[in-house]
Homo-oligomer: A and B are copies of this chain.
Amino acid sequence: MRPLILISNDDGYQAKGIRSLTAMLEDIADIIVCAPDDARSGFSCAFSATIPLKLTLREKREGVTVYSCNGAPVDCVKMALQNICERRPDMIIGGINHGDNASVNAHYSGTMGVTIEGCLKYIPSVAYSLCDHREDADFEPLRPYIRKFTEKVLKEGLPKGICLNVNFPAAKAFKGVKVCRMGFGSWQNETTKCHHPRGYDYWWMVGHYHNDEPEATDTDRWALDNGYVAITPTEIDLTAYEFMSQKESWEE
């Protein structure tokens, strides 16, 4: 039996990135896509506690089934696992995202939401993102890397509790691959004030990213800025074990 891959994203089922990913992998695996019906960028691991969720079948052909869902990226994974997949997927993939999900953006990313949700279900999970927000971004240069990484994960799996956040620079060719740590940075001037014709103020969430570790060469930010594909292994156990040394002062 061919392996089964569940794919979702946060740009919506019609985005070029998720369609490109499906095309890159459909000869090596059966593919189920369950993705938001429209863009859900910045949705993180959010799920929909209060809205009724619906599924719409968008496409069905040999080896490829595509559904859209009116929920968040994490909803799509949960809905697909319980209501679409007839067997447990061998792998869950988020992407290919239109835009960077490296460094602290991993916390906000709906693409990483998909991948963390897969990892929480103990299924090997990977996020693919391209540092290009454009609707018509060129995903072709990623093809050999995505096929290689996906085949490696299908063959070897991933350690329990660890998923991969893979980011590609916007380039025609890459210098190589770096396994990195998550870089630290800060979003600055995150809200932009505007004035409504009716007389009130409102804000758009638009900021710019500042690299807080410009000297570090082991971060995903450095790898991307220097032309490398960045693989950031990501763990779902959030415990800060180093804090255990302070245990006594908190338990007293």
Contact = CB atoms under 8 A, between A and B. Distances in A.
A205 B45 contact: no
Contacts of A53: 191, 202-205
Interface string A147-160: 00100100000010
Interface string A203-226: 111000000000000000000000
A166 B159 CA distance: 28
A191 B43 contact: no
B241 A205 contact: no
A252 to B, nearest CB: 8
Interface stretch (A59-67, A74-82, A134-142): A74-82
B39 A50 contact: yes
Contacts of A14: none
* Residue with the greatest number of chain B CB neighbours at <10 A, chosen from A43, A161, A177, A232: A43
Nearest to A177: B251
B79 A203 contact: yes
A106 B239 CA distance: 10
A71 B244 CA distance: 35
B82 A191 contact: yes
A232 B246 CA distance: 12
A167 B247 CA distance: 16
Nearest to A190: B78
B191 A79 contact: yes
Given A42-B46, A53-B204, A186-B120, A243 B179 contact: yes
Interface in A72-122: 72, 74-75, 78-79, 82-83, 104, 106-108, 110, 113, 116, 120-122
11 contacts: A44-B45, A44-B47, A46-B108, A78-B191, A82-B189, A104-B120, A149-B250, A176-B251, A182-B238, A233-B246, A234-B240
